Amino acid sequence: MSYLHEMKEGDSALLMGNEAIVRGALEAGVKVAAGYPGTPSSEIIEGLAKAASGLNIYVEWSVNEKVAMEVAAAASFARLRSICAMKQNGVNVASDFLLHLVGSGVRGGMVLVFCDDPGALSSVNEGDARFFSRLMEMPLLEPGDFQEAKDMTAWAFELSEELKQIVMLRSVTRLSHASGKVTFGPLSDAEGVAEFRFGGDFLDPDEGLMASFPVDWKHRRQQEKVARAREIFETSRFNTYEGPERPELLMITASGCNLYCREAINSLGLEDRVGLLKLGTTWPLPVKLLTKHLSSTDRVMIVEEILPFLEENVKIIAAERAREIGVKTFFGKSEGVFPMMGELNPDLVMAALVSAMGIDCAPPCPEYLETARRTASVAAPVRDQVLCPGCPHRASFFSIRRAMEMDGRRGFVCGDIGCYYMGIRPSGFDAAKTLHSMGSGTGLASGFGKLERFGMIQPAMSVCGDSTFYHAAIPAIINAVHNNSNITIMVLDNKGTAMTGFQPHPGLDHNIMGEEAPEVNLEKICRAIGARVEIRDPFDLEETRETINELMACPDGVKVLILRQVCALSPDRKNIRNFIMKVDENICLGEECGCGRFCTRVFRCPGLIWDKEKGKALIDEVICVGCGVCADICPSQAIRKEEAAQG
Amino acid sequence: MNVKTPGKDPYNIIITGVGGQGNVMASRILANMLVEKGFDVTIGETFGASQRGGSVMSHIRVSRMGTWSPQIPEGRADIVAALEPIESFRVLARYGNPSVRVLANTRPIYPATVIAGESSYPELTEIRELIEKLSARAWFLDITGEALKLGNPILSNIMMIGALSALEDIPLDREDFAKVIARTFPEGKREDNMRSFDLGLEMMRSA
Ligand code: SF4
Ligand code: SF4
C-alpha cells in the first residue's frame, strides 16, 4: 500500500489537511514527533508513525501535551528537526513549558502544530489558540488550503531554524479533516545526528545554556526574533493578493476561511470589484504589506473564525498608520458582520458580501428550502450522539445511576473528557453533572469531598478514562488522598484512547511504533498513592452497582473503582460477537410490562429496538454487537443470550 | 481517454448516514475514483465524535478548476446518497434544490429518542413520498439487506458507490474502483469489495 513517505516528487494525490502536514514534515526531514491525541489533530502523529519505520524517525504518543512539547524540544536542543501536534486546548496544557521555551529559543527547527475546532465539532470548548502567538511572542502560520498545509509545514522548520524560535502552525477542523489535491516535493535525505552542546559561552544560543534565564537578556532576544519574523513575512509567498488594484472592498482572511472567501467572490461574480488578501503569516503581521493593501481602499472586511484575532491586529496597524492610509470602514466581528463564535461557511461570507456591496442576490431556491426544512423537522427526528452499541460506559453509567438512586443522598458524578463525556447526556443516564477539562472531574470531586463541614451531605464521585487518568487525573488523586477528601473515583478503563481512534497510552503493552512497551499499571499507582482500589467488570451490572453503593457509603477517604472492559470499537473486540441475542416474543410483555419498557426506554442501547407492530422489544441484528448486557436488564428475562461460536 | 464531464462545475455530491456506517471511507474511495479520472476533488467532512451514532455527512466537490470550499453552499447539492433514509431530509433541508437527485438505502437506524418512544420514525412509504417530492429523481434500495446476505452490513457503503456508478453524469467506473481498492485494502478484502460494488450497480440498474 502506498503511503505518504512513498509518494514521489511531482506526484499529486488527494490528501487530508492533516496528511498534508505530515508530508510537509517529512519533506523537511523531521526526526522526532510527539503529541497527545485530540480531534482534529490525531492523524498528524499517526501519519508520521506510519512513515517512521521506512524512514529513521522517532514518534511517540506522550502522556500529555506538555510532555509532548518537552520531548520534541529535547530533540530540537540536540539539533534535530522536531514537531509536536495537539488540539486547541492541548496548547493550554503545554503552555507553561511553552512560555519558558520561547524564552530559551530552539536549535533544530521546531514546529508546534495545533488544530482549532471552530464550532466545537468535536470539542467541549471553542478555544482560539492563535492568541498564544501574541501572548508568548512567537510566529504564527496559517495555511489557507491543502497544498499550503504541506508547503507551509515544510517552510516552518526553516523559519524556526533561521529565528532559533519555535514556530506555531494552525489548522482548523475544516482543513485538518477535509481533503484536497496536494502536489509533492522531494523528501529530505538529511541524516539526523543528535548532540546536545553546552560547552560554549553561557549566553551562546548554539552551545550555551538552554533556558529562559537571564530573563531580561533572553526576552530582548525573543523580541528581536519577532521583529525579524515580521521582516521575513513582508515578502512571504504565503501572503497573496488577488483582485483589482483599487478594490471597492478589501477582504483580509487566513486559514480555511480563504476557501469560503474565494467561493463567495466567485459565486457572486465579484472578481473585478473585491480584492482578497490571503495571509499565511498571521503573527506578527507584516506591517508594510498590510499598509500597502489598506491604502488601496476605504472598506475592509476581515474574515476569520472564532475571536477577532486577525481583525484586532489589522486594526492596530490601521490605527497606527491612519495619517498615511486614511480612515477605514471595517466589516468584521466588532461591527457585528460576523459572529465571534461558531464556524463560518461560504453562505455566511456570501451574505456579508451581499450586504457590504449592496448587491441584489436571491438565494438559490427559497421556497424549496422552506418546504425541505419543514419536512425535515417532522420526518427526521433528532439524532443525538449516543454511546456505541455494546459500549462498556453505558453499562457503567447505568450502574452508577442506579447506585446513586439507591443511595438516596442526591449523589452526583463529576464528568470528564472522552467518550464518557456522554455521562452528561441521556445516553449516559444524565449521571454526570459537571464537565470541564482533562482530569478535572477528579479535581472537582476532590474539592466537593471537603465540603462536609459546610453541611454538604451529597456524596461526590468522578469518572475518568484510562488515557485521561495518565494525562491529568493522577495529581488530582494525590491531592484527594493527601487532603483526606472523601470521594469515589471511577476509572472507566476500556484499554485505549477510544474517542480519538484507539491510540495507545502508558497503560498498554505497546506503543504507536508497534513496539512492545512496559505497561504502567493503573491500580498499582492508585494503591501507591494510598487509595482503596477495587476492580469490576461493568458488564456485571449487579456486582458493579453493589460495589458502588458500598464505596459511596464508606467514609474512609479516596476509593478508586476501576471498571474494566474493552471498548466496543477496539480492534480487540470489533467484529467479535460474544453472544447471539434474541428477544423471546412470548415472554416479552411489551407495553404491558410493569418495567415501563426498561430495555428500550431506559437502557437505550441502539442495538435493542422496538417493534411497533408487535409492540415488543427486538434485537437489530445489524447494530447489536452481542455484548450480552441487556439480557440482565429485562425483569422477565425475555432477552436471551446464547454463546456465539467463535472462529 | 474520453472523460464524461459533470455538467456543472463544481459538481456537488453529498454522502450522508450515521456514524459507524463507513461514510468517510465511502467518500474517500469515491473521491479517489474521480481523481483517477483527472478531476480536482475537495472533500469536506466531520468525524471524530461522529463515530458515536450521530448524523454524518461528507461533501464531495468535483471540478476542473482546483480546490473549492469543503462545505457546499446552501441549495447546491447535485446528488445526495443516503446510507440511512431519513438522513436525506437533514441534507435536503440545507443543500437540496428542485433538481437534486437522491439515492437512499432503505434500512433505518433508529435514533435513541425513537427507540425510547419519545419521537416517531416515519414509515418507509412516507419517507419515499417525501423524498420524491423533494427531488427530481429518487431511488430506494435495500442495500443493507443485500449486504447482510453477503455476510457483512458494513459493505453497504461500497454497494452505495456501485449504485452511484450507474448514474450517467458522474464518471465512476469499475476499473477506477478496482485501482483505488487495491491501494486501500489488503488483498484478502478486495474480492468482497468488488462483489459489493457490482451488486450495488446491479441493484440500481434493476431499480
Ligand atoms: S468508541 Fe468505545 S468507548 Fe467510545 S462510545 Fe464507542 S464503545 Fe464506548
Ligand atoms: S447485546 Fe444488548 S446491550 Fe449488547 S449490543 Fe446487543 S442490544 Fe446492545
Domain B11-206: which CATH class?
alpha beta
Ligand 1: does its nearest atom lie under 6 Å from the Cβ of A477? no
| Residues forming a β-bridge with A561 | A490, A534
B54 and chain A: CB distance < 8 Å anywhere?
yes
Q: What is the pLDDT of residue A613?
A: 86
Coil, strand or helix at B194: helix
Total length of chain B: 207
Domain boundaries of chain A, sorted by first residue: 2-234, 240-357, 392-569, 579-643
Q: Best residue in B30, B59, B115, B121 to probe A by mutation, most A CBs within 10 Å?
A: B115
* C-alpha to C-alpha distance for A212 and A71, rounded to whole angstroms: 17
* C-alpha to C-alpha distance for A196 and A36, rounded to whole angstroms: 25
Of the partner residues A122, A384, A597, the one whose CB lies closest to the CB of residue B113:
A384
pLDDT tens digits along A546-598? 999 999 999 999 999 999 999 988 877 777 788 999 999 999 988 877 777 88
**Under 8 Å CB-to-CB from A75, ≥6 apart: which residues?**
A31, A32, A58, A81, A82, A108, A110, A194
Residue B77 has pLDDT above 70, yes or no: yes
Question: A263 to chain B: which residues are within 8 Å by CB?
Answer: 68-69, 73
pLDDT tens digits along B169-192? 889 999 999 999 999 888 888 999
* Residue A20: C-alpha distances to residues A44, A47, A143, A224, B112 (Å): 9, 10, 11, 31, 37
Region A243-254: mean pLDDT is 98
Residue A3 has pLDDT above 90, yes or no: no
* C-alpha to C-alpha distance for A610 and A243, rounded to whole angstroms: 59
CATH number listed for the domain at residues A2-234: 3.40.50.970
Phi and psi (nearest 5°) for A253?
A: -150, 175
Of the partner residues B69, B115, B126, the one whose CB lies closest to the CB of residue A604:
B115
State the pLDDT confidence band at A2, using cuts at 50, 70 and 90: low
pLDDT tens digits along A22-40? 999 999 999 999 999 999 9
* C-alpha to C-alpha distance for A481 and A334, rounded to whole angstroms: 48
Q: Which residue has the cell 472598506?
A: A299
Region A121-137: mean pLDDT is 96
Q: How far is CA A140 from its chain centroid?
A: 19
CATH number listed for the domain at residues A392-569: 3.40.50.970
Average pLDDT of chain B to the nearest whole number = 92
Q: What is the pLDDT of residue B93?
A: 97
B46 and chain A: CB distance < 8 Å anywhere?
yes
* C-alpha to C-alpha distance for A16 and A149, rounded to whole angstroms: 10
Q: What is the pLDDT of residue A465?
A: 95
Task: Pick the closest to residue A490 from A549, A568, A406 (CA basis).
Answer: A549
A240-357 to CATH, choices 3.40.50.920, 3.40.50.450, 3.40.50.1010, 3.40.1160.10: 3.40.50.920
State the pLDDT confidence band at A452, using cuts at 50, 70 and 90: very high
* C-alpha to C-alpha distance for B129 and B136, rounded to whole angstroms: 12
Q: What is the pLDDT of residue A601?
A: 87
Q: What is the pLDDT of residue B1?
A: 35
Residue B8 has pLDDT above 90, yes or no: no
Region A599-628: mean pLDDT is 91
| Residues forming a β-bridge with A462 | A414, A489
Q: What is the pLDDT of residue A646?
A: 67
Total length of chain A: 647
- Using only the alpha carbons of chain B, give its radius of gyration: 16
Q: Best residue in A87, A146, A179 to probe B by mutation, most B CBs within 10 Å?
A: A179
State the pLDDT confidence band at A196, using cuts at 50, 70 and 90: very high
Cβ–Cβ < 8 Å for A302, A332: yes
A614 and chain B: CB distance < 8 Å anywhere?
no
Closest CA–CA distance from residue A383 to any residue of chain B (Å): 5
* C-alpha to C-alpha distance for A35 and A41, rounded to whole angstroms: 9
pLDDT tens digits along A503-540? 999 999 999 998 999 999 999 999 999 999 999 999 99
State the pLDDT confidence band at B2, using cuts at 50, 70 and 90: very low
Ligand 2: does its nearest atom lie under 6 Å from the Cβ of A395? no
Residue A491 has pLDDT above 90, yes or no: yes
Phi and psi (nearest 5°) for A356?
A: -65, -35
Q: What is the pLDDT of residue A74?
A: 98
* Among chain A residues, CA nearest to B179: A1
**Ligand 1: residue whose CA is nearest its atom 2:** A567
Average pLDDT of chain A to the nearest whole number = 95
* Residue A331: C-alpha distances to residues A220, A462, A472, A541 (Å): 36, 46, 42, 58
Q: What is the pLDDT of residue A438?
A: 97
Coil, strand or helix at B174: helix
Q: What is the pLDDT of residue A177?
A: 95
Alpha helix (H) ranges present in A78-195? Answer: 88-104, 131-135, 146-163, 173-176
Fold of the domain built from segment(s) A579-643: Alpha-Beta Plaits (3.30.70)
**Ligand 1: residue whose CA is nearest its atom 6:** A388
B61 and chain A: CB distance < 8 Å anywhere?
no
ipTM of predicted complex:
0.95
Question: A388 to chain B: which residues are within 8 Å by CB?
Answer: 20, 51-53
**Cβ–Cβ contacts within 10 Å for residue A295, how many?**
15
Determine what percent of chain A is predicted with pLDDT higher than 90. Answer: 87
Q: What is the pLDDT of residue A1?
A: 37
pTM of the model: 0.96
CA atoms within 13 A on the CB side of A404: 20
pLDDT tens digits along B137-163? 999 999 999 999 988 888 999 999 999
Residue A498 has pLDDT above 90, yes or no: no
* C-alpha to C-alpha distance for A275 and A287, rounded to whole angstroms: 18
Q: For residue A181, what is the DSSP state? A: E
Report DSSP letters for A348-385, one per residue: HHHHHHHHHHT-----S-HHHHHHHHHHHHHHS-----
* C-alpha to C-alpha distance for A173 and A176, rounded to whole angstroms: 5
State the pLDDT confidence band at A497, using cuts at 50, 70 and 90: confident
Region B110-123: mean pLDDT is 92
